[in-house]
Amino acid sequence: MRDFLHDISFYIMYGAAALAVFVIVERSIFFMFNKKKAVALAHQAAQGPAECLELALKEKTSVASELVQNLVQARQRFAGSDLEAAGDAALIAAKEKLQRHLWMLDTIVTAAPLLGLLGTILGIVDTFYSLAQSGMSDPAGVSSGIGTALYATALGIGIAVVGLMFFNLFQERVERITDSLKVTVLQLSMSADAKS
């Protein structure tokens, strides 16, 4: 039973590592694609809303193009402070899409060292149990049991360190893309104010 619990902690950590890799790859591709689109639309918004909308309609799949389409629809329905509120609402919705799945990475970063510690504790319990059963006759068996137990801690910390690096990188990318989206919203709002 103790070996089973020790193995389960390893399997959970391997699953967490696989999930972290999946989230890292998916978010890397997502942010690479959306950063380019957000910067391009921010530049187009400086040229004018028509050019920006034309580019947004061509590239419907990005967060930035959805934001521009929502703003253009809001410009047709609202004016003044209502338009500003619609812009804020569109930015909040875009930021929510940018932060999707990052909670999983954050949870893995927090839980992996704890799972590693649990694996270590269970491994040391196994070692002490076998030591109590056989006595001190096999120091090599005791050493290998403790080594396996410490491997769990190293694995948990390793998963957490890699996950934390990517989590911080993704948070920085969310902020950069959000800044580009804010520029787009401001440009489109200024052009709407100039028309009225």
4 vs 173: CA distance, rounded Å: 41
- What is the full per-residue pLDDT of the chain (196 aa) written as tens digits? 667 777 888 899 999 999 999 999 999 999 998 888 888 888 777 777 777 777 777 777 788 888 887 777 777 776 666 777 877 888 888 899 999 999 999 999 999 999 999 888 888 887 777 777 776 666 666 677 787 788 889 999 999 999 999 999 999 999 999 988 888 888 777 765 555 5
Total count of residues recorded for the chain: 196
CA-angle at 112, arms to 108 and 113, nearest 5°: 140
Total domains in the chain come to: 1
Residue 96 sits at φ, ψ, to 5 deg, of: -65, -40
Q: What is the pLDDT of residue 90?
A: 83
Question: CB of 173 within 8 A of CB of 99?
Answer: no
Q: Give the contacts of 11 (CB within 8 A, at least 6 positions apart).
A: none
pLDDT for 133 equals 74
C-alpha separations of 136 from 2, 102, 132 in Å: 20, 48, 8
Distance of CA 86 to the CA centre of its chain: 26
Three-class secondary structure assignment of the chain: CHHHHHHHHHHHHHHHHHHHHHHHHHHHHHHHHHHHHHHHHHHHHHHCHHHHHHHHHHCCCCHHHHHHHHHHHHHHHCCCHHHHHHHHHHHHHHHHHHCCCHHHHHHHHHHHHHHHHHHHHHHHHHHHHHHHHHHHHCHHHHHHHHHHHHHHHHHHHHHHHHHHHHHHHHHHHHHHHHHHHHHHHHHHHHHHHHHC
Q: Give the amino acid at 182.
A: K
Contact partners, residue 21, CB within 8 Å, separation at least 6: none
Supply 42's token pair: 């921010």
Residue 185 sits in which domain range? 2-195
pTM of the model: 0.81
